[in-house]
Chains A and B, each alone.
Chain A
């Protein structure tokens, strides 16, 4: 059974960079059958798809965040990461990592990390 475990700080100062990591167990991140994505959820915006990465390193980002987002993958550690730069209060949200099937359906999810942007 594939499990995704998220890690990273829950408090980030405005203008700084949010960094989260998702460690995959019970399966290889090198699998060509899946995409690895990040999704966030906030009371104001609901669920928002941030982007995904493929094991090859190919990425696709939501254009609304593209200028500030980087998703990377470390196959040796079986993990992938999210960086969101220049954060503001509007980036306060519950952040999830997920394993998507080839159709983009998010089949497995991390536990979620509440990130608050505040000084």
Chain B
């Protein structure tokens, strides 16, 4: 199985900060990466697919980049409603796998 390693596992930042979350794949996966946001008690929500394509309705402060083994989710200006956990997922090879998650806290 393809392993996805996210870093950091936790970060605390202030409103307005630029925040980046990394996802590293154990082997090359082209751009077959999705990013999800999950708030407590809620199902995950798709933010980005194909590494950099913003899902309809997702604020433009979210962006994704990367290819092969290194991927990044960026929040350009952190907002209070962005407090959540974020997960990457690879869709290049079965079985699809997820990263361990990054919890983002607002200071």
Residues of A within 8 A of B (CB): 46-49, 51, 60, 62-64, 96, 101, 103-107, 109-112
Contact = CB atoms under 8 A, between A and B. Distances in A.
15 contacts: A46-B87, A46-B100, A47-B44, A49-B95, A49-B98, A60-B94, A62-B94, A64-B95, A96-B43, A103-B32, A103-B49, A103-B50, A106-B34, A106-B44, A110-B43
Interface of B: 1, 32, 34, 36, 43-46, 49-50, 55, 87, 89, 91, 94-101
Q: What 5 A-B pairs have minimum CB-CB distances, sorted nearest first? A: A109-B43, A47-B98, A104-B91, A62-B95, A49-B96
Q: Is the contact region of chain B dominated by helix, strand, or loop, or is it mixed?
A: loop
Contact of B87 (A47, A103, A105, A112): A47
Contacts of A103: 32, 49-50, 91
Contacts of B49: 101, 103, 105
B46 A107 contact: yes
A106 B46 contact: yes
Given A49-B97, A63-B95, 16 more contacts: A46-B87, A60-B94, A62-B94, A64-B1, A64-B95, A96-B43, A101-B49, A103-B49, A103-B50, A105-B34, A105-B89, A105-B91, A106-B34, A107-B55, A110-B43, A111-B43
